[in-house]
Structure 1
Amino acid sequence: MKHPSRVVLLDLDGTLTKSDSGILATAVRTYKLLGRPVPTNEELSTFVGPPLIESFTNHGLADEADKAVALYREAYTQPTFDDPRNPGQKVPGMFLNEVYPGIVESMDELRRRGYVLALATCKPEPQAQRICDRFGLTEHMDYLFGASLDNTRIHKAQVIRYGFDAIHFDEEEGDRAVMVGDRWTDVDGGHFAGVKSIGCRWGFSAPGELEEHGADMIIDTTDQLPDAVDRFFATLA
């Protein structure tokens, strides 16, 4: 089997799509349904990136985390919220979302330059598939890997290793990869899986977050991605 020698792992939320409105609206609804105090806006902002069950556990719902996740997933995947694009219609929280300008063009340019693109997200894989299909991203990548619904695969490093197993990634055969993402979870997850990272400032990281967690390279705009990936792999040659 020919190995995918240059793999670009792409985060979803905050890297390919601006997804905070749907994630936060669904989280707020979950707290209200449980009759629990809604976290501050600053606390809610941390929900974009880490595994959902950990976010609920860390923000007041440790005793009901599993129930909170179930309520969240129902609203996030079923028509629940008013569709801002189609008044009078409902959409699931996952579709309160938009692709960042320029990201598709950068993905296409990376593939033109010979890179293999693989989504690596802590969002459950079936949800990630629906989002990528809905917003026209699926055809611009080679593979899509996400978390499991049973919480046995929820961290970024676990998703990366799962993806590597699926595509028969083998460093001993000369395969190399980089993780591209906007949060500390992407940087740390990549490092735990033995993969360096490119941090993206257009997402949801707090000031200094990417530097603090040791991102190996940081870029500011989506159009910088192809050349940044070239520079990264040049250092591995």
Structure 2
Amino acid sequence: MTTEPLTIPTTTPTRTWSAVLFDLDGTIVDSASDITGSLAHMFTELGLPVPSDEVLRGYVGPPLLDSLRMTAGFNDAEAWEALNIYRDHYGEHVLRSPVFPGVAGVLERLHAAGIPVALATSKPESMARKVLDHTGLSQYFTVIAGASDDEERSTKADVVAEALRRLQALDISTEHAVMVGDRGYDTLGALANGVPTILVEWGYGSPAEAADAMAVVHSADQLRSLLLG
């Protein structure tokens, strides 16, 4: 994501956040190549032409079942068949995605400061837990919320709502929560729940997707400053 220089309201760095929600793919881990590789495998297994890299990268972030319907033009049965092929292949590669530089340090600092951290990802929750366990980051998360395997909970708005609900069930205030993500889907899903969003430039979004974000950061140091002051 390439944007204009960072502009932040002067009140933002002094804000005390009651909770911080993080997206996973494109925000915490660099998973694009593994995801697009499994998508290419999926199209090949279905006997279909493999889309360009640019098109495949557009699948990274939004709920995949919806993208298979809207972008690939699959009907419900075809989309579920494709999703299952994708999941089988991706499940064998999900633990290869590296953590973006500096992000683990931000999570560690938030945890040390006593600020509750939640994951809110459109990736299936079971896969998301494996990723966080493998990278050693699970220890920093109070709540891990993702899409359900049956896709009943898949939209970003629904996942963010579930993360907030689980935090509240632990008597954690979400009145001043903030979302950290890399796509416009993160911003819109968070805004649907009254939560502002900080977008990270190192992810997979485009400049146009930053329009509704509270701020855009290009480094983990900037993100840490916004979250911790």
Q: TM-score range by the shorter chain?
A: 0.7 to 0.9
Q: What amino acid is aligned across from residue 66 of structure 1 in structure 2?
A: W
Q: Given the two structures, how large is their TM-score scaled by the length of structure 2?
A: 0.86
8 Å CA contact retained: 1:39, 1:59? no
Instruction: Find the aligned partners of 2:224 and 2:111 in 1 and give their Cα distance.
Output: 9
Question: 2:53 matched to 1:55?
Answer: no
Aligned mate of 2:83, from 46, 69, 73: 69
Q: 1:60 to 1:209 in 2, by over 3 A?
A: same
Displacement of 1:157 after TM fit?
1.1
Deviation digits for residues 199-229 of structure 1 (CA, Å, limit 9, x no counterpart) = 1111111233212xx1011111112212112
Gaps spanning 5+ residues in structure 1: where?
A: 78-91, 232-237
Instruction: Find the aligned partners of 2:174 and 2:202 in 1 and give their Cα distance.
Output: 31
Structure with more of its chain in strand, by fraction: 1
8 Å CA contact retained: 1:119, 1:145? yes
Displacement of 1:198 after TM fit?
0.5
Bigger Cα displacement from structure 2, 161-170 vs 221-230: 161-170
Question: 2:23 matched to 1:25?
Answer: no
Displacement of 1:167 after TM fit?
2.2
Indicate the structure whose relative CO is greater, using CA pairs within 8 Å and at least 6 residues apart.
Answer: 2
Instruction: Find the aligned partners of 1:152 and 1:20 in 2 and give their Cα distance.
Output: 24
Aligned mate of 2:22, from 10, 35, 38: 10
Displacement of 1:170 after TM fit?
10
Q: Given the two structures, how large is their TM-score scaled by the length of structure 1?
A: 0.83
Aligned pairs for 1:212-231 (under 5 A) are 214-230=212-228
8 Å CA contact retained: 2:164, 2:174? no
8 Å CA contact retained: 1:25, 1:93? no
Displacement of 1:169 after TM fit?
6.3
Task: Provide the secondary structure at the position in 2 that maps to 1:146.
Answer: strand
Task: Provide the secondary structure at the position in 2 that maps to 1:99.
Answer: coil
Gaps spanning 5+ residues in structure 2: where?
A: 1-16
Aligned mate of 2:53, from 41, 59, 76: 41
Aligned residues: 210
Instruction: Find the aligned partners of 2:129 and 2:228 in 1 and give their Cα distance.
Output: 27
Instruction: Find the aligned partners of 2:109 and 2:174 in 1 and give their Cα distance.
Output: 23
